[in-house]
């Protein structure tokens, strides 16, 4: 058990020292979320409601409400069970958030009645439309962010623009944010305890611990890859992802793959370790195996944890990243794919 605690401590230490892609440039400091209005996020669904069907899509804007509580309030408004309410992903409570929920409502219910019931809730209703299916977890294409970084020094826009230019040129490491690991990273202690005792997940909370472990291993893998000088290049056997379709393939022609990577047509992916994860080959496979060996894990570990695994794009391209100076600080705007963290972007600037 002691060796697993040491492993947890090693992972936590690594999570506190994630590298920066713009490390050659000075940071600007600052503060985020001094006010909810300083952190704005708009969810983008992968499809639009078709206008027909028994699921009502409610697009709303809220402040200081978490996603589960919004869903509960919507359900109470119409007497729905939790299974009749859908959403794509959880959003930050300390923010102004635009998000779409689906409600299973009979077609016979007049829209006037629906609007009247929703008007009693403390949300700004932006759109109502019907669709044939429920919104399920993961049904999010992207999130658009507008974030005010306050308490920045005068003239920091020059430094911020230099960092932004570096991020645009080099790409941004797609690290999992520190919130993934819980307060004082205690999720990693609990996850390693499950591994040590060979416990399988018994609850959603246990599943979160397993996810935290997978996320930390990914962050460590990407940190080590950057340290080896391979953060901005393809290596033999990488599992690459096509940026237009999302399709995965194992790199065989290294020269061709590097050219496509330079053109942002593909991106290399990292391991979300699991017993069904698409395997890398050659040098890339050896490097991933080193991470597992270091922590005495294998595919059997993840079978025990009921974690099938997946691949995660390792670098983010942010073509719409923009920084605008205002009296209160600097406004940042950018779009991230689902699963990426806005705090990962801001840490490059704040340090």
Q: Which residues are catalytic?
A: 92
Q: Which two tokens stand for residue 250?
A: 């194992």
Distance CA 298, CA 343 (A): 31
For residue 31, what is the DSSP state? B
The enclosing H or E element of 47 equals: none
For residue 329, what is the DSSP state? E
Distance CA 118, CA 199 (A): 44
Select from 263, 275, 280, 272 the least CA-distant residue to 317: 263
Q: Which two tokens stand for residue 344?
A: 């990962």
Q: How far is CA 87 from the centre of its chain?
A: 16
* CB of 305 closer than 8 Å to CB of 5: no
For the chain, percent helix, then strand, then coil, each to nearest 5? 40, 25, 40
The enclosing H or E element of 44 equals: strand 39-44
């Amino acid at each position: 058990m002691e060796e697993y605690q040491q492993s947890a401590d090693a992972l936590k230490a690594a999570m506190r020292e994630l590298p920066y892609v713009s490390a050659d440039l000075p940071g600007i400091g600052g503060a985020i979320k001094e006010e909810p209005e300083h952190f704005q996020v708009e969810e983008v669904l992968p499809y639009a409601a078709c206008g027909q069907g028994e699921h009502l899509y409610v697009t709303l804007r809220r402040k200081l409400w978490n996603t589960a509580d919004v869903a509960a309030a919507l359900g109470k408004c119409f007497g729905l069970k939790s299974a009749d309410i859908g959403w794509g992903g959880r959003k930050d409570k300390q923010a102004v958030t635009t998000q779409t929920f689906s409600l299973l409502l009979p077609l016979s219910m007049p829209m006037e009645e629906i609007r009247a019931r929703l008007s009693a809730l403390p949300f700004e209703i932006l759109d109502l439309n019907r669709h044939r299916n429920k919104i399920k977890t993961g049904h999010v294409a992207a999130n658009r962010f507008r974030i005010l970084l306050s308490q920045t020094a005068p003239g920091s826009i020059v430094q911020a623009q230099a960092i932004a230019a570096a991020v645009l040129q080099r790409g941004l490491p797609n690290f999992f944010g520190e919130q993934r690991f819980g307060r004082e990273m205690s999720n990693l202690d609990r996850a390693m305890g499950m591994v040590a005792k060979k416990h399988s997940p018994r609850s959603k909370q246990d599943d979160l611990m397993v996810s935290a472990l997978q996320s930390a291993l990914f962050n460590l893998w990407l940190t080590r890859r950057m340290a080896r000088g391979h953060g901005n290049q393809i290596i033999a056997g990488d599992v690459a992802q096509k940026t237009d379709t999302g399709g995965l393939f194992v790199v065989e022609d290294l020269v061709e793959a590097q050219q496509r990577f330079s053109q942002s047509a593909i991106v290399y992916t990292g391991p979300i370790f699991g017993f069904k994860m698409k395997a890398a080959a050659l040098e890339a496979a050896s490097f991933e195996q080193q991470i597992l060996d270091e922590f005495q894990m294998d595919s059997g570990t993840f079978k025990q944890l009921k974690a099938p695994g997946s691949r995660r794009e390792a670098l983010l391209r942010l073509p719409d990243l923009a920084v605008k100076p205002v009296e209160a600080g600097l406004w940042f705007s950018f779009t991230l794919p689902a699963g990426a963290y806005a705090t990962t972007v801001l840490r490059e600037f704040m340090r």
